[in-house]
Amino acid sequence: MQKIIPISRQRLRAWLKYQREKYGKFDFLFIPELHNSGRIHFHGVTGGLSPPLVEARYPKNKRLIKKNGIQIYNAENWQNGFSTVSKIQHKEKSANYITNISRRS
């Protein structure tokens, strides 16, 4: 399980490097979090990055996926599992969310 974190970070870094090469410099903060299952996922924010996003859809009925009325997207070129992306609606709430995640990690 300890090997999972460095491998996941390496994949995230490679993806971020690719994004910078393709779209130019941008700011980011990603925080790893382990599930009870031992799998890792990242919470993050970016600033100044506008990659192509694909509207997330339910596989069976192809309906759009929304959370609290906000459209959910997938990062088009993320190939290491699932991606869930939403556009920031409230900067202060987003900052509080990231702060709380960082305290848990």
Q: Specify the pLDDT at position 30.
A: 93
Q: Specify the pLDDT at position 36.
A: 83
Instruction: Give the integer Cα–Cα distance in Å for 71 and 13.
Output: 26
Instruction: Give the integer Cα–Cα distance in Å for 35 and 14.
Output: 22
Regions of the chain with pLDDT less than 50: 1
Q: Specify the pLDDT at position 63.
A: 96
**Residue 88 · residue 98 · CB < 8 Å:** no
Q: Specify the pLDDT at position 1.
A: 47
Q: Specify the pLDDT at position 25.
A: 95
Q: Specify the pLDDT at position 45.
A: 92
Which residues 6+ apart lie within 8 Å of 80 measured at CB?
8, 11, 12, 15
Q: Specify the pLDDT at position 105.
A: 63
pTM for the full model?
0.80
Q: Specify the pLDDT at position 99.
A: 87
